[in-house]
Amino acid sequence: MRMTDIPFATTDWSLIDPTEHPGETGTAFWRTRTFGDIRVRMVDYTPGYRADHWCVKGHILLCLEGELHVELRGGVTHVLTPGLSYQVADDAEPHRSHTKTGARLFIVD
């Protein structure tokens, strides 16, 4: 990824209106900025959230709050707590997330 034509700026995420994305259970609320082909999001999952699909999009994801379980289609599950991150390439490993307690994430994709 090459980042070009992005002038220096700050983002106050509290000023960005969230969009609602229902899961199989629970809801994800995305606050999104886009810079060319790069999408940057602050995402809040409600307690009990479970994704309704296997995702094949690449991400760099940092857990800021809560606990997130990331299941790989092969059966392995990783648990993210604040300060832990993961990275995966587009079309590399289908994954889906769920949380019992809720979670806040910072995602670049």
Quote the CA–CA distance of 96 and 70 in Å, as a whole number: 6
The average pLDDT across 67-71 equals 97
> In this structure, are residues 62 and 85 in contact, taking their beta carbons and an 8 Å threshold?
yes
Delineate the domains of the chain, giving CATH numbers in brackets.
33-108 (2.60.120.10)
Using pLDDT thresholds of 50, 70 and 90, give the confidence band for residue 52.
very high
Asked if residue 36 lies in contact with residue 4, where contact means CB atoms within 8 angstroms, the answer is yes
Give the total residue count for the chain. 109
Element (H or E) spanning 87, and its range?
strand 85-88
What pTM does this model have? 0.92
Q: What percent of the chain has pLDDT over 90?
A: 91
